[in-house]
Amino acid sequence: MPPNTAGWDILVITTNTILSPQSITLCNTSACNVPYSDTPGGGNFMPGGTDGQCINGLPSGAFNPCTGNDGPGVAHDAFASSGFTIGALLLFTITYKVMASGSSSVRLPESTTGGTSENHLFDTSGIDIIASETGGQYGPVAAAFDYSLSNNGPVSIQAGSSGPVVITATLTAGSTQAVTLSCVSASLPAGITCGSFTVNPVTPTGSSVLTINVAASVAAGSYSFMVTGAPLGATTTPTTVSVTVTAVPFDYSLSNNGPVSVQQGASGTVTITATLKSGSGQSVTLSCVNPLPSGITCTSFNPPSVTPSSTGATSVLTIAVASSVASGSYSVQVTGAPLGATTTPTTVSITVTSVPFDYSLSNNGPVSTQQGSSGTVTITATLKAGTAQSVTLSCGTPLPSGIICISFNPPSVTPSSTGASSVLMISVASSVVAGSYSVMVTGAPLGAQLWYCDYHCDPESWYCSISDTILRHTFTVRYNVHIVQSTVCDSIFNRCI
């Protein structure tokens, strides 16, 4: 008790349908104060005095203390002592009757006593004493709101992307209420941020999906942060979300500039391009995927390895096609090692074309023919490529004046690998001046390549040599006709036309 306590006017309120006050018993002897007195043996107690009571609105005792605050469930005691006391002690006890099952608060009108309150403590001068008041509870006590927070982590997220984690609020006690979820900002590692919650607030027990954002700058490794709720429950603590950040995987695509057309027995090239899609570039060794079509081989890659880049790194693949491969469409696949996360081989389309018909013409000249007579020279057609077909031989025009190609015997030949021959008869008029002349012999159809003749002027002999230089898709051969008694090199015919 506060110092010099000499009386009181106190109300205690309950729910009368559950707990109804029946009587008030003063405690002003040492016997009843033994458990409460701060003087050994219960020596500290309130001396006797005048007491009035109002229980459930009905007065009793030495005077009537009932006021407008009294009524059902109110136990009201007013006491004035003939002396005073100092220290801790029990003032009075209230006997209640339980009216029904349930719970009821046992409360005082306010938290402190004082001049403006309903409850009062007085000193010997009748002045109010300030003191604290605390009520209680009868029956089952309502459990305080409480819940736990958990998550379904750890969650693995690639640097530069996002990932979900499920936050669950589980009711553990009391009546449920809305809880607003949030990330504890001080716990977030650099580069990791919380996006949105799919449901917020949640009502325990309930769940919400949180989106976690990881910047591309975050190094691979293990991280964590906390998620909390507001209001917190009686024992609620934040849940810790574990995040494993993984590096962006190396990935690239392969492409080519095909289709490529390759002739039987020849080779062709195609450019392979490796384009970086993600991660850091690293060396990739290119190769063709086996099995390859029969007769088609990947000869080489130049260079054999490339480092994929955002603009594309290239290598030239040489593809060889055997002469035995039938014309048509084929394909080969090119892959890389190591493969990227989503890399697939690139398919190179190949069109194999037939070898074109080609042959060479030659002769056994020079031939020497007397003025006014005829002479012969043998023309040989040799197959160089493709499938042989009939070739009709003829002399090119214009011919030198007075020189005539009389006939080819036979007029047509079918070039072969060993050579097919025809004898050309040439007539020289008597008017032709002695000297060197030349006649061009050609075939129809022409072969695929053009060969040209180099003339070499020599006082003793005139001849046409065949060079292997390719110029265009025609073929001609010139040979010399040497006229007896010739001593002059005719500059007009010192080259092939």
Average pLDDT for residues 31-44, to the nearest whole number?
A: 86
- pLDDT confidence of 492, banded at 50, 70, 90? very low
State which H helix or E strand residue 302 sits in: strand 296-302
Give pLDDT, residue 37.
Answer: 87
Q: What is the pLDDT of residues 262-319, one digit of tens each?
A: 999 999 999 999 999 998 899 999 999 999 999 999 999 999 999 999 999 999 999 9
User: Residue type for 183, please?
Assistant: C
Check: CB of residue 350 under 8 Å from CB of residue 319: yes
Q: Which of 311, 214, 208 is nearest to 255 (CA)?
A: 311
Give pLDDT, residue 190.
Answer: 97
Give pLDDT, residue 253.
Answer: 98
Both tokens of 360, joined, read: 């060479």
Residues 395 and 440: their CA atoms lie apart, in Å, by 6
Cα→Cα distances 129→46, 115, 262, 394, 470, Å? 16, 8, 114, 145, 127
Check: CB of residue 47 under 8 Å from CB of residue 83: yes
Give pLDDT, residue 452.
Answer: 33
* 161 phi and psi angles, rounded to 5 deg: -135, -170
Q: What is the pLDDT of residues 10-27, one digit of tens each?
A: 999 999 999 999 999 999
Give pLDDT, residue 124.
Answer: 86
- pLDDT confidence of 385, banded at 50, 70, 90? confident
Q: What is the pLDDT of the chain when averaged over all its residues?
A: 88
Q: Is the pLDDT of residue 380 over 60?
A: yes
Q: Which of 66-75, 296-305, 433-442 has the highest mean pLDDT?
A: 296-305
Higher pLDDT residue, 480 or 53? 53
Average pLDDT for residues 355-368, to the nearest whole number?
A: 92
DSSP string, 180-245: EEEE-GGGPPTTEEEEEESSSSB-SSEEEEEEEEE-TTSPSEEEEEEEEEES--SS--PEEEEEEE
Give pLDDT, residue 441.
Answer: 95
Per-domain residue ranges for the chain?
5-138, 146-246, 251-353, 358-493
Residues 284 and 249: their CA atoms lie apart, in Å, by 15
Average pLDDT for residues 170-177, to the nearest whole number?
A: 94
Q: Is the pLDDT of residue 483 over 70?
A: no
Give pLDDT, residue 17.
Answer: 95
Give pLDDT, residue 171.
Answer: 97
Check: CB of residue 231 under 8 Å from CB of residue 248: no
Which residues, 6 or more positions from 290, have their beta carbon under 8 angstroms from its beta carbon? Answer: none
Check: CB of residue 202 under 8 Å from CB of residue 181: yes
What class has domain 358-493? mainly beta
Superfamily name and number for 251-353: Immunoglobulins (2.60.40.10)
Which residues, 6 or more positions from 445, have their beta carbon under 8 angstroms from its beta carbon? Answer: 357, 389, 391
Average pLDDT for residues 397-408, to the nearest whole number?
A: 94
Both tokens of 350, joined, read: 């190949």
Burial class (CB in 10 A: 0-12, 13-18, 19+), 218: buried
Q: Which of 446, 465, 233 is nearest to 362 (CA)?
A: 465
Q: Is the pLDDT of residue 406 over 90?
A: yes
Same fold, 5-138 and 146-246: yes
Percent of the chain predicted with pLDDT > 90: 73
- pLDDT confidence of 1, banded at 50, 70, 90? low
> Contacts from 455-460 at CB under 8 Å and sequence distance 24+?
455/493, 455/494, 455/495, 455/496, 457/489, 457/494, 459/487, 459/489
- pLDDT confidence of 480, banded at 50, 70, 90? very low
Q: Decide: pTM greater than 0.85.
A: no
Is the domain spanning 5-138 CATH 2.40.440.10? The answer is no
- pLDDT confidence of 469, banded at 50, 70, 90? very low
Give pLDDT, residue 470.
Answer: 26
Average pLDDT for residues 349-362, to the nearest whole number?
A: 94
Residues 263 and 294: their CA atoms lie apart, in Å, by 15
Q: Is the pLDDT of residue 472 over 50?
A: no
- The CATH-assigned architecture of domain 146-246 is Sandwich (2.60)
Check: CB of residue 330 under 8 Å from CB of residue 348: no
Q: Is the pLDDT of residue 465 over 90?
A: no
